Structures are given as C-alpha cells and as structure tokens.
Amino acid sequence: MTNWTPHTARAREWFEHLRDLICAEFEAIEREAGSEAEFRYTPWLREGQDGEADTGGGTQGLMKGKVFEKVGVNVSTVHGAFSKEFAGSINGASPEQPEFSATGISLVAHMANPHVPAVHMNTRFLTTTKAWFGGGADLNPPLPYEEDTQDFHARLRAACSAHNPTYYERFSKWADEYFFIPHRGVHRGVGGIFYDHLECADDAGFDRNLAFTQDVGRAFLDIFPELVRRRMKSDFNDADKARQLEWRGRYAEFNLVYDRGTLFGLKTGGNVDAILMSLPPEATWN
C-alpha cells in the first residue's frame, strides 16, 4: 500500500479541529437555552483482526441536552486490512490488496423540538492502493420549512462553487439519490450534498480535496447552528411530536439498512456504540 501516513495525519488534525469547533458551538447553544449540558468523550480502540495490533481507534463525543436531545460527534483514525469478502467493494482494494487506512468525522444530531431539523454530516479520508476524500451533509427536518431548506442548500452551494462550478449540481443530485429509502419510496430528508472518491493522486490533489472538504465542514458549522437558533424556541404540540417520532423511525431504517458508513464501521472492527450513535433516542413505528 502506498504510504499516505503524512496525509492521513493532516486530515485527522483537521477533523479533530472541526469537532472541537462544532462541539463548542453546540454547547454554546445549550447555554443560551439555560442548559449546562456538555459533551462526554469516550475513547476506543479498534479491534484488530487476525493478530493485527495497534490498528487505531477514535473518540466518541455524546451530548444530551435541552436543545440537542441526542447529538454525537465522533472522530476515528483506523488502519488494517479488509476481509476478503468486503475488500472487493472498496475503491482501490481487493482480496489480494486489502490494506486500508481511514480517518474521518461523523455527526448526527437529533433535536428535542420537532421544528428544529435533525442533521447528519460526515467527511472522511481513506487510503487503499488509492487515496480519496468523501462525505457531505444533509438536513432531516420532521417539519420542513422552505426557508431552512433553501438556506442550508445555499451555504453548501457556495462552498462547492468556490472549488468547482460542477460540484453542487453533481453532489446535491448524488445526495438525493443516496439518501432515499427504497422500501418506503421516500427521501430521508430535504437533501444536501454527498460526494465520494475525490482521488488524491499526488500532493497537489490531496491539498485541493482537503481544502474542499474543509470548506464543507466550515459551511456546516456556519449554517446549522443558525437554523437551530431560528427554530429552537418554537411552540409545538403532540401532533408535531408524533410526526417527529414517526420520522425518526424512517431515519433509523435508512441507517440500519442502507447507510455505507454504518456498514463500513461494522465491517472494519469499529466501535459499535460510536457507529450506532446515529440512531435516535426515541422513535415510533405505526
């Protein structure tokens, strides 16, 4: 496998910095709501396979508060070898060359007030015989507001356009296709962007795609707290809450059946609690 260790270290440094910025902002929102909730951080080590040792790990950050009913912000950096059965499904890997390294940040926020949208954000850097960035962010409101949807997309569009005029149209379409629940025939939310396999064939490619991935993170940090503050004091009734709980059931179905990140984590010896932090604290199925 190509030695991408310096690149992995740089990507990891950014993901950890972004986590710290996001968690500080979310805790600030809790303070504005009169809550003392804060993140609790739990480190974990990857379970190596077939005698692997020192295969990395991560930190699970979890907060349960007045505004954020449950929010997880996780960063992990792991390396090792895919199983032969799984290796063939990963870009640049094969049963003959199953080695990989991966670092990334993953965030899911489930909100107490059903008028505040839930959200998902994930960006990552992987290496096999190739190296690439992937990720994105998407908004998941139980009670959608067109203003919120437009503002969320506008901020992501600006981040994309600063790097490539084709990115937003390509990646927003990809999000619409990816965040879809086939057995329900509905989208998981109101979209966002999703990208993968932005390959880094050399240092210049790494720098270019890291810069884009950083701007995706900054765009998320810019717009989502604004939406939370916009809606977190809204009045809601039992019907609104019932809608939220039913919608959360759909969210759980997608993450357990179709989500690539869930599958990747479970197939590579990740921490189960960190992987499944995306599941809502409460949901209903009627």
Q: What is the mean pLDDT of residues 190-211?
A: 96
Q: In the structure, what pLDDT confidence band is assigned to residue 181 with cuts at 50, 70 and 90?
A: very high
Calculate ∠ Cα 156-174-94, nearest 5°. 120
- Residue 170 one-letter amino acid: R
Residues 6+ apart with CB under 8 A from 41: 59, 60, 61
Q: What is the mean pLDDT of residues 48-61?
A: 76
Where are the chain's structural domains? Answer: 5-278
Q: Which one is catalytic: 7, 79, 120, 153?
A: 120
Backbone angles phi and psi of 259, in degrees to 5: -70, 130
User: Would you call 7 a catalytic residue per the annotation?
Assistant: no
Q: In the structure, what pLDDT confidence band is assigned to residue 72 with cuts at 50, 70 and 90?
A: very high
Q: What is the mean pLDDT of residues 118-129?
A: 95
Q: What is the mean pLDDT of residues 13-34?
A: 98
106 vs 261: CA distance, rounded Å: 9
Q: What is the mean pLDDT of residues 271-276?
A: 82
Backbone angles phi and psi of 196, in degrees to 5: -155, 160
pLDDT of residue 91: 76
257 vs 251: CA distance, rounded Å: 10
- pLDDT at 2 exceeding the cut of 50: no
pTM for this entry:
0.92
What's the fold here for domain 5-278?
oxygen-dependent coproporphyrinogen oxidase (3.40.1500)
pLDDT digits (tens, 9 = 90+) for 79-102: 888 777 777 777 776 777 788 889
